[in-house]
A and B are shown apart, each in its own frame.
Chain A
């Protein structure tokens, strides 16, 4: 073989490698150890109510949803293979995957999904999870593989809404729930690619590959170990020393993330999600009932400096409730300029002293946030008093409207409708700003009723312009989700909703 031909062969091989395609060799076998932030209390919705991110991540391994999100954020088949909707988007029909079995051998079918739904919806069961399915009136199972959702409100994008591995969306075995009673919570049974082999409370959950999984060719690891490691420094140390292969992280660990980025044995997985960290003005209390005051407070911010002070500059400034990760991208979102001079003038124009309280969590982060905002606002002659309260107190105070300004969050979600309607529609119980604007309602209704993405974008951009102009809410930073991993860890999809899904990962 001449040198020339060898070189040609080399080029061809390189081209094949670049093209990926079938040469993409997913390696079979091995164990992946994942460091989570929190202990997992269990999986029974009636017990734990709503899953947090650690539970979502574990659920992604054992329990499955009807629909999953593909790499473009669109709905793709999982336990459901296809779907269709009525003209008014109030009835959705799903065709289910045949031949799927739960880990306990009982069949997965429409009746099982309906049973899960009814159990959560039943008022007698007092499930905290019921609130999040209140927009669904009922679920019918006309035959084994057909499932019909009857909605209270139209939803043009229902399938994507059912993708998060939440306590509402994952399908669990009715037979196992009934048989195990109180013990079911820590012995969940689903249809997913992994099953629990052992689980030591507070220490580790060991999962093994499910040999009967319906899509087992796409499952590569033999086992996965989930470990709650609550301290961020020791979590990072455990990754460095090889006790874990992948760890959950957030932008408050900016130092560790920077170190992982410069370490060739490690990789940083990050996902610029939709939504943002936001704050709500109670527009019914003085001085926040005056639009000039609210606008001044928003214009006084310098988000770049804010980010620098809070997370070493990792936090991405937000201009609207959607963020770069959303499919809603506006030419004009109406964001107010960051202009402290103009802000001070507006306060002067208002004429009276401006003083109010703002809620923060009783954590070091809450305090840091409060002090930074306090400084920005002091510069324009405004006095904000920090009121630090317990994390659980914030939603309670918000729902009772017992606040001047409260922090809130718009989480990464495949469709803006749910949160936009809840937070900004005048008649919504979560209209925390106590603000009514018919034009805003019209935009939100419009976005809800048309499936056309371009038209919906227009409606949402209009909504953003109205909210920004009235300054009833303000956005600080977009949602960014992080994981740090050994360089050999491959096949982790985008961290939708902050969930690190390693169910189809492999080790190189």
Chain B
């Protein structure tokens, strides 16, 4: 197992290097010049040149990348020229919000998807299965921002049950904190569950046709035990993959959902940085999201190995 982990870790390094290089290239390809952004449109060309030199913006791209990388390797991701905050502080401020949203959204999605998938798989082709398939496809074609507005209209404006916007730290008021995550969490879960349900359902149908399930049935085990203990675990490989990808995606916050519900997460930080041409924050956040994504994928690989011992031994 240790060797397996070690091998995977070695793969991580080039991935991270490639990601940071790409981030850097994209940020430098964006229209707009940091020096002009700071000095304003009316600045004289001489002043812009002077500031560019002072900030090292006149250096060739590769040299700037290496300098930036050197800083990152020493834990210095830079400081926003606009707010004076360090990138690390800005991300640390916003991260708990996005993480909590991610956990709640993914949890809600799984909570809806797993029972439905099992029920559909048991009676595949039955009335419930066909209905859920139709519903899942219908749901897939409803964009989250529309769901968000509909949920706000129903629960915040009409019923006045849940807040439409806002957030308080969990440590300050846990109940308000959870309440403010219900609608955004539900919005994201609504987008997630059809996919999760569909993959688990088809894997489950395949598993249920395996000989050992027939054997378990023949032994007279209770159906619930067969499904939950014998069938669920081997059927969940794809589910874990998809969940992992989703989590990776949600680490970066969700630009639209955080904007609609006014949650101060990573997504809002990113949007703000883009609008303000705050390249230093932008670069830092993208780097951070990329690293998060890579780590989650790494954990998913680990989970495969736990779920299916054949993978550990490289014979899958």
Q: Which residues of A are in contact with B by a Cβ distance under 8 Å?
A: 35, 39, 41-42, 44, 47-50, 123, 126, 128, 131, 182-186, 200-204, 227-231, 233-235, 237-238, 240-243, 390, 392-393, 395-396, 399, 429
Contact = CB atoms under 8 A, between A and B. Distances in A.
Given A227-B165, A229-B165, A49 B38 contact: yes
A50 B40 contact: yes
Contacts of B276: 41
A390 B262 contact: no
Nearest to B265: A202
Given A50-B40, A231-B259, A392-B37, A237 B165 contact: yes
B164 A243 contact: yes
B166 A227 contact: yes
Given A230-B259, A233-B152, A128 B39 contact: yes
Interface stretch (B62-70, B77-85, B206-214, B235-243): B77-85
Nearest to A400: B41
B93 interface: yes
B268 interface: yes
Contacts of A50: 40
Nearest to B264: A202
Contacts of A242: 160
A44 B259 CA distance: 26
Given A201-B94, A202-B268, A230-B262, A240 B40 contact: no
A47 B82 contact: yes
A39 B268 contact: yes
B291 interface: no
Contacts of B41: 395-396, 399
Interface string B93-134: 110000000000000000000000000000000000000000
14 contacts: A35-B165, A41-B80, A42-B82, A47-B81, A49-B38, A186-B83, A186-B85, A201-B264, A204-B166, A233-B149, A234-B262, A235-B165, A238-B166, A396-B36
Tell me the dominant secondary structure on chain A's binding face: mixed
B56 to A, nearest CB: 15
A237 B156 contact: yes
B157 interface: yes
A406 B23 CA distance: 32
A258 B51 CA distance: 48
Interface string B149-191: 1001100110010011111010000000000000000000000
Given A47-B82, A126-B39, A201-B93, A39 B272 contact: yes
A176 to B, nearest CB: 14
Contacts of A131: 40, 42-43
Contacts of A48: 82-83
Nearest to B160: A241
Contacts of B157: 237, 240-241
- Most interface-central of A42, A126, A227, A229 (chain B CB within 10 A): A126
Nearest to A40: B83
